[in-house]
Each structure stands twice: as structure tokens, then as C-alpha cells.
Amino acid sequence: MQRVVLALLVCATLIGSEVRGAAQDRAAVSRTEDVVYGRKFGTALTLDVFQPAKPNGHGLLFMASGGWISSHDAVNAGWFQPALDRGYTVFAVVHGSQPRFIIPEIVEDIHRAVRFVRHHAAKYGIRPDALGIMGGSAGGHLSLTLGTQGGPGRADAKDPVDRESSAVQAVACFFPPTDFLNYGQPGEDAVGVGVLKKFQPAFGARSGTADSRQIFGREISPVNFVTASLPPTLIIHGDADRLVPIQQSEIFLQKARDAGVSQVQLVRRPGKEHGWKELPEDLPLLADWFDRHLRGITK
């Protein structure tokens, strides 16, 4: 399991080394580490805040997640350096990890993180009504989950953070799982089995039988929650990906178009697998997407 997760993060390491080397003369970015955005079972949930020297007044949440495992050590500014260069304030979110927590519990953490950032928007000098979210692989799945299911908080919540909306206004991600019951081909079950059997702890006991997997798989697949209100969404995916087949992005794209969503785009990378050496060259595309759909900047 650990080797698989490390493989998922190889491209992040490449990104970090290449981008850091090119960024030595850039304006300083301040980093505030371990900001507590929530607690669960006595454990603090934290995020790191990256603030550029010349902020543009907009915030992005980055999902520090691979195989639904998250840690502070996995926060790599290389992933979002182009966004920092353009003045975005970035919140790198660390969530509860499998095997202790399963996917729906992890999703709860991300809803909380968005609500926290929105509640403290004035403190961080960002607009509360224009938040973006990004990530890759499991982080892409979490990004699309919030893109399709973010929404109002509870008006009667004791904690004012939980009264905020968890909706995001733009999504950009790499190679995300979107439909665990049609994984690579129609009817292919990957709810902790098959291609994703090494990630079974993220699916928990509900992956135990075919019937329970059918129910659970529908609940955790973003493709099942696409509506006409889907925010502008960009996906970048290699067509030789064997861990998360590009079919996952293709069916999400089709579902969005069927729902009448025009601001959705899939960028295909021929011959690329789950992460690629040249991936840093694609990172500005995410910043371009947020510029266009959060700031209204067109080139």
C-alpha cells in the first residue's frame, strides 16, 4: 500500500524540484503552517496558508491527497506555484487519512475546510464568493466531489463556520476517479476491488459485498451528482493512465455536457500515465482556468 501511495506522489516531487529551481528570484511567499480548521475524535485538522507578496484577492484550496492519504509532509508548493505567482492565496488542506477514515469521512473534512476558508476570508484578504479548488488523483476526486456537492451549511449550527457554504466556484484537477462502478468500462466495479483493491481501506467495510459496493459506489462517485449548476471545471488526464483510466474523465465530461454545462474542459495528454515528467508544464493551465473563471481575465 505504501509503495502505491508513494508512486502517486512521484509527480509531485518532480514538480517541486523543477519549480523551486525556477522560482528562486520570485517574490517571497509567506507560509503559515498548521492552521487548525477543525477537529475530529480529538485530532486537529490543519491547513497551510500560502500568501503571495502581491495578493490578487482570490483564494484556492489545494487537496494534499494521494490514495486518500494526506499529511503535512505532502504539501508541496510546486503544485501551485504558478497560482502563487499570479497572486492567489493558497490553502493546502490536510485531511483525515485512510485506513482510519474512509472516503465519506474524508469528504466531510473538505467541506469543513471550504467553510473555514470562506468564514475567514476577510482575515486572509480574499473574496468569500469566488473560491477555487484543485488536486490530483484522490485530490482530484475530492475536488470534483466539492464541485458537485458543495452547498449551504446549517443555519442553526453552533459553530459559525458550519453555517457557511462549502460550494466552490471553479475546479481544476488532474486524473480524478469519477465513477467507481464504471471504472474503465461500463459495469467495472472498483469500490476497493479490482484496479483499486490496494486502496480497499479507503472504502472500508462497505466494500465487503457486491450489493454494498453498488450502493456505496454511487454515493462516492462525483459523476452521479453533476447538475447544470456545476462550476467551471478543468480536467487534465493522460490517455495511458492505468490506475485512473481517462474514461473516468471522459464520462464526467459527457455527463456535464448532457446537463447543459458549457464551461467544462478535458485536456488529454497522449501516451501519459498517472503523472508525467512534463506535468509542471501543465500547471499554468490551472492558473489560467482560475484567472478566467474566478477573476474574469481572458487572454
pLDDT score, position 18: 43
CATH number of the domain encompassing residue 163: 3.40.50.1820
**Would residue 261 count as lying in a domain?**
yes
Residue 16 scores a pLDDT above 50: no
**Would residue 94 count as lying in a domain?**
yes
pLDDT score, position 21: 40
pLDDT, one tens digit per residue, over 115-167 is 999 999 999 999 999 999 999 999 999 999 999 999 999 999 999 999 999 99
For residue 16, how many other CB atoms are within 10 A of its CB?
Answer: 18
Rounded Cα distance between 57 and 245, Å, is 36
pLDDT, one tens digit per residue, over 187-205 is 999 999 999 999 999 999 9
What are the DSSP calls for 240-287, one per residue? Answer: T-SSS-THHHHHHHHHHHHTT--SEEEEEETT--SS-TTGGGGHHHHH
C-alpha 253: how far from chain center: 17
Cβ atoms of residues 48 and 74 within 8 Å: no
User: What average pLDDT does this structure show over 240-256?
Assistant: 98
pLDDT score, position 197: 97
pLDDT, one tens digit per residue, over 49-102 is 999 999 999 999 999 999 999 999 989 999 999 999 999 999 999 999 999 999
pLDDT score, position 74: 84
Instruction: Answer left, alpha or beta for residue 124, where phi above 0 means left and psi between -120 and 50 means alpha.
Output: alpha
pLDDT score, position 24: 37
**Would residue 299 count as lying in a domain?**
no
Instruction: Classify residue 26 by its DSSP letter.
Output: S
Residue written as cell 477555487? 132
pLDDT score, position 27: 62
Of residues 28 and 263, the one with the higher pLDDT is: 263
Rounded Cα distance between 299 and 7, Å, is 36
- Helices in the chain by DSSP H: which ranges? 2-8, 10-22, 81-85, 103-119, 121-124, 138-149, 210-220, 247-258, 283-294
The domain of 77 spans 2-23+32-294
C-alpha grid cell, residue 68: 486518500
For residue 128, how many other CB atoms are within 10 A of its CB?
Answer: 15
For the chain, the domain total comes to 1
C-alpha grid cell, residue 85: 505567482
pLDDT, one tens digit per residue, over 270-295 is 999 999 999 999 999 999 999 999 99
Rounded Cα distance between 25 and 43, Å, is 38
pTM of the predicted structure, to 2 decimals:
0.92
